[in-house]
Structure 1
Amino acid sequence: MRSAHRFTLLSLLFILFIVLAASLGTLLAKTAGTTPAQPRAIAPRGELTADERNTVEIFALTSPSVVHITTARQALNLFTLNVLEIPQGTGSGFVWDEAGHVVTNFHVIQGADAARVTLADQSTWRAKLVGVYPDRDLAVLRIDAPPERLRPIPIGESKGLKVGQKVLAIGNPFGLDQSLTTGVVSALNREIESVTGRTIRGVIQTDAAINPGNSGGPLLDSAGRLIGVNTAIYSPSGASAGIGFAIPVDEVNRIVPRLIREGRIRRPVLGIAAASPAFNKALGLPPGVAILRVDPDGPAARAGLKPFVPVTEGSVVVGDLIVAIDGTPTPDLDTLLDALERYRPGDTVTLDVLRGTERRQVAVTLDSSS
């Protein structure tokens, strides 16, 4: 009896559902088309704001200079013995000149065997590697595109930047080409670590959204000029967290022409081996670069510089401590190497040197690194 009662109740509910659905369909059929309906009137837009017009104009001016870079590794197919190109990654870059030079980050092409550059007109070109400088995370490629297809990016300067001024970033985040983000200069003179472990100083911090794929793309000012190369983000998740970093254009404009001419940065040398910071601390030395070894035929030896020499356990013959180069303080080796990059082999510099408590100035003519 209970089963029959349950079956009857379910049947009634099902019939009621069918009746209600049919009634609703009939109601919709009767009301559809009886009420007049037209597209809504478009509200007047008015003129774009001055800031919006500026942003639109900058994108139109500079986006043709921004490129999409794809890299690949080469592998041998063991069955056909053909060389295959396996996609490795993507990044951004920008056209440097009408000779086809393209600037990007070193880490964008690091470890790749091949690279292709896609211009804003969607034409794709096989790229040749011209030169790299991993210490500043910069690389230069070259494509054989005709000059009429190339739009070199306008170059600005970074030394006069102010915190709070507007910036724009164009790149290919997550492979989405020609993406524009805006923000401000959040801070100046930040320090980040390059892929070689060297410190990159003077870095621009921005809150313009920078994501994977933006690396190597331009950071622009409100005049549409290049002021930095987007390089890194600080983010626990790997996506933009509003803290991005760009290598300042003054560094880029100093390094890129040398990479185009020579293929690498040949840093001038003093001909010394430097002690670690722990050495300075153990001997109670002030900030500076303590000399541990002098190359016999190097510039430092010719200038009469002397190394610290251990003679017995706990006893050291005091040598020279380099504390400045041409008036610029050198509290550690990294700072000294940064300063040396601004010179060329054959230049003569003046070192401020401490030996014990005696401070003196020594003229040294720099040699070329091997």
Structure 2
Amino acid sequence: MTPPPDPYGRSAPDPFIRRWLFMTACIAALMLLWQFLPAIEALLSPRVASERTVTPRGDLAADEQATIELFEKARDSVVYISTAQWVRDVWTRNVFSVPRGTGSGFIWDDAGHVVTNFHVIQGASEATVKLADGRSYRAALVGTSPAHDIAVLKIGVGFKRPPAVPIGTSADLKVGQKVFAIGNPFGLDWTLTTGIVSALDRSLPGEAGGPTIDHLIQTDAAINPGNSGGPLLDSAGRLIGINTAIYSPSGASAGIGFAVPVDTVMRVVPQLIKTGRYIRPALGIEVDEDLNAHLQLLTGQKGVFVLRVIPGSAADKAGLIGAQIVGGNIVPGDRIARIDGQPVDDVAALLARLDDRNVGDVVTLSVERSGQHRDVQVELQAGV
């Protein structure tokens, strides 16, 4: 059946054109629907969002709970230390207090003594100690021992005295046991980091050519600038060291940190509180690292060559003799090989062994002179 003729004389559209127009209209409708689909969904969806239920966590793991309790108990014993330096204006002659740096420390006893690193307060004119509860106090310097990187401050806390850190031991530490460091890295106060004892009995040269610091604990607990002076604790929350240094080319934690062992702290801090300085035990001899190394090469023997015996000293009373100059050549005197059976290969080792003792202790020196070996007992005297 053919369509009736158009009254205006127009011809009927081609079937292909009709199909093309239909498809175009469908595509346009789909595009329009796609554009307004989010609005349609929002219009048809419920006005009130469905509530989510909280999934029960359950109890904390035993090690997590132990770490939380350790931090909560130790936190109040850790302090934030900020230092400043007095600067005089050359024109007005006014004195200004310029911030110098920050560090950490911990409460030592009920008398208000605070222990920190020597390098935290070195060169400072004043120090302020901030407690965990927000109170701040101007600190007084009690004493320092640069050889151990230890300093003692004192604050006047009249009420609500913060607790002292429980004291542990470091002689029985084992590589692999857990440790916890609390401090103020980069000024982020009261930060807890954890790790293990990585190594024991490390030695590091002091800052700016200072004396070597011996018997250090190495740990991988994250220690950064600002942690210095803070406590290193064992899993029982006892003090086992003072965080003192890091090894890092970038200046930030690289997983190698060092702490002064608490056994050293227990020898040094009471003396600093009592006298303001640490008196190292000594033999009463003079030695020189460079000349000692030369004599070791010359003789092919390790140990410490005595250069001079101080008249009237403990070594003099024990009969030790020093080196002599004969015909322009150095003739070695006594060579100390051991102290109480422990080898001393060089001057640094000798000083470290002596530092483990106290003034008045009697030590046995294994001494060699002209190929003859003997043991000598020496009562340690106060060093200068």
- Return the TM-score normalized by structure 2: 0.84
Alpha-carbon separation, structure 2, partners of 1:179 and 1:40: 34
Alpha-carbon separation, structure 2, partners of 1:109 and 1:29: 68
Deviation at 1:347, TM superposition (A): 4.0
Alpha-carbon separation, structure 2, partners of 1:242 and 1:29: 56
Alpha-carbon separation, structure 2, partners of 1:158 and 1:347: 21
Alpha-carbon separation, structure 1, partners of 2:371 and 2:360: 30
1:123-162 paired onto structure 2 within 5 Å: 123-146=135-158, 148-162=160-174
Match of 2:374 in 1: 360
Instruction: Indicate if the aligned counterparts of 1:94 and 1:153 stay in contact, CA closer than 8 A.
Output: yes
1:104-123 CA-to-partner distances (Å, cap 9, x unmatched) read 11111111111010011110
Instruction: Indicate if the aligned counterparts of 2:296 and 2:303 stay in contact, CA closer than 8 A.
Output: no
Deviation at 1:50, TM superposition (A): 0.2
Match of 1:108 in 2: 120
1:251 to 264, 267, 286: 264
Alpha-carbon separation, structure 2, partners of 1:129 and 1:216: 15
1:64-97 CA-to-partner distances (Å, cap 9, x unmatched) read 0000000111011345533211000000010000
2:364 to 347, 350, 354: 350
2:212 to 186, 196, 199: 199
Q: Secondary structure in 1 aligned to 2:349?
A: helix
Specify every segment of 5 or more residues in structure 2 that has no aligned partner in the other structure, as ranges.
1-30
The CA RMSD measured in Å over matched residues stands at 2.4
1:225-240 paired onto structure 2 within 5 Å: 225-240=238-253
1:323-338 paired onto structure 2 within 5 Å: 323-338=337-352
Q: Among all aligned residue pairs of Structure 1 and Structure 2, give the percentage whose two residues are the same amino acid.
A: 54
Match of 1:369 in 2: 383
Q: Secondary structure in 2 aligned to 1:52?
A: helix
- Please state if 1:292 is matched with 2:332: no
Match of 1:8 in 2: none
Match of 2:226 in 1: 213
Q: For the pair shown, which has the larger CA radius of gyration, 1 or 2?
A: 2
Residue 29 and residue 251 in structure 1: after superposition, are their counterparts in 2 closer, same or farther (change >3 A)?
farther
Amino acid of the structure 2 residue aligned with 1:355:
R
After the TM superposition, which of the residue ranges 53-62 and 265-274 deviates more from structure 2? Answer: 265-274
Alpha-carbon separation, structure 2, partners of 1:322 and 1:179: 46
Alpha-carbon separation, structure 2, partners of 1:182 and 1:294: 48
Residue 175 and residue 202 in structure 1: after superposition, are their counterparts in 2 closer, same or farther (change >3 A)?
same
Deviation at 1:249, TM superposition (A): 1.2
Alpha-carbon separation, structure 1, partners of 2:69 and 2:43: 47
Residue 166 and residue 348 in structure 1: after superposition, are their counterparts in 2 closer, same or farther (change >3 A)?
closer
Amino acid of the structure 2 residue aligned with 1:211:
N
Q: Secondary structure in 1 aligned to 2:73?
A: helix
Match of 1:319 in 2: 333
Match of 1:185 in 2: 197
After the TM superposition, which of the residue ranges 341-350 and 214-223 deviates more from structure 2? Answer: 341-350
Alpha-carbon separation, structure 2, partners of 1:325 and 1:96: 32
- Return the TM-score normalized by structure 1: 0.87
- Please state if 1:224 is matched with 2:237: yes
Specify every segment of 5 or more residues in structure 1 that has no aligned partner in the other structure, as ranges.
1-19
**Number of aligned residue pairs:** 349
Instruction: Indicate if the aligned counterparts of 1:289 and 1:331 stay in contact, CA closer than 8 A.
Output: yes
Amino acid of the structure 2 residue aligned with 1:227:
I
